[in-house]
A and B are shown apart, each in its own frame.
Chain A
Amino acid sequence: MTRARIATAWLGGCSGCHMSFLDMDEWLFELAEVADVVYSPIADVKEFPQDVDVTFVEGALANEDNLREALHIRENSRLVVAFGDCAVSGNVTAMRNPLGDPIEIVKAVYVDAPDRDGQIPEKEGIVPPLLPRVLPVHKAIRVDAFLPGCPPPADRIQAALEALLEGALPPNRGEAIRWG
């Protein structure tokens, strides 16, 4: 039997969803018996590999790096799961959206407020420019399943993974889709 290739990615979010992922505790051993986690912020892999079966994307798309990574993930994953409220809806990450153009906020924070010679942090290749609006993942790439929750409780993540390993989509009825 071929082993499933699973990835998780951490975009514009707090990594709480990944903490919840670790909360699956001993079931992670069972997971390890049937699947490889081929890319994850909690695994030491630098490059997102090709030919991934399913990728759990945590976080919203807040900057150009997030957007590029999302497109790259989509190209190399058979299934993409929006993992947690930020990925599903923007959530806390998107709370800046009502305030309008982010450059105004950045100016207020780095230039106007704290010190005399404040400057906007920018360095090409290191500090990615912010997107005008924070986007949920499905506004940039096709998403196959949604796993809301802030964070999604471990048992819901487990249920989603169990379904996926069976070749089905995660449950999308009842408490499985509760936000917050």
Chain B
Amino acid sequence: MERVVITGLGAITPLGNSVQEFWDGLKEGRNGIGPLTKFDGEAIDVHVAGEVKGFVAKEVMDRKSAKRMDPFSQYGVAAALEAVKDSQIDLDVTDPERMGVIVGSGIGGLNAMQDQIIKMHEKGLDRVAPFFVPMAIGNMVAGNISIATGAKGPNLSIVTACASGNNSIGEAFRTIKHGYADVMLAGGAEASINEIGMSGFAALNALSTNEDPNAASIPFDKNRHGFVMGEGAGVIVLESLTSALNRNAKIYGEITGYGATGDSFHMTAPSPDGSGAARAMKLAMSEAGITPSDVGYINAHGTSTPANDVSETEAIKAAFGDDAKNVAVSSTKSMTGHLLGGAGAIEAIAAVKALQEGIMPPTINLTTPDEACDLDYIENKSREKEIKYALNNSLGFGGHNAVTCFKKWEGQ
């Protein structure tokens, strides 16, 4: 079995369009959420979003490629290009057939879907654009990343709603661990801040209706009442330790465990006791060969919905037992909003950087404690502490639970 390390990072986020800007923002406790500008959300009482700002696709890829992609693909490709550049992988040295891609999306090309369904309705069935299908299908972010980077190994997308990014990382980890590839680009991408995406989640009463960007995504706070939609992408380069050492690569950290479970309970609600998420955390720790007392930090799913944050707290208690009170937990969605399929990917980057730098990002705007959420949530200010292991939780509609376990890199 191969050990698997992280050798490159890439991110397009509401806090900035690079890993550096994203991580600096998290450490500073900066809020990437602002007024919703992409359309008028008044009719659904939605006023804020975690929008990507200043992203110009043709600055990171040629104009023709950019024009052929829905924004979710553009974000994914941009993040992948940053990650590959960061890793300094040279395809003259690394066999492209041993380098693969697993990048998913919760929804896929929802902007293309919305535009072309409107066009079909207004102009007729025979006027739908030929680029509709290749722009809309959710796997195309992985396809486009393969084209943009030259990766010719396993190429697939995982669709598990808000767990897509984290499931992708976990499955890519296993792909290398079990010898099917040497390098995997793994993560998730999402761009669903549009009328149909937001109105759909609003109809579920899932979105925050607060007008104040600092009081809308407030995970674990008593006044939380819904999530804030974010957008963007995260891609990490996973590599076998052998391959990384052979090319003397910079190593950010190691991925040592993965747990994936299903709630078998409800389409949108998590099981109240958090048992599905708890089992995923236990499985990830078991594969990593550690016990709860080894874990210093959990990047929580922490969506700021009433249901998630209580059941996830219960899940951590179920998985950690007496150690639940000792583990530091934060939801970086307080600063980015919820990137759906991209969430688990950018949050994996947060967990890896927290291990690398010994700084855990906070849960900002947590002002009113909730007696049902009674763990250590790193309130409002990042915390310096050397930690050895971190978990990354992602929990999706459909009862999909994905947990990855990362270890600080301290040499072999």
Pair from one complex: no
B residues with a Cβ closer than 8 A to A are none
A residues with a Cβ closer than 8 A to B are none
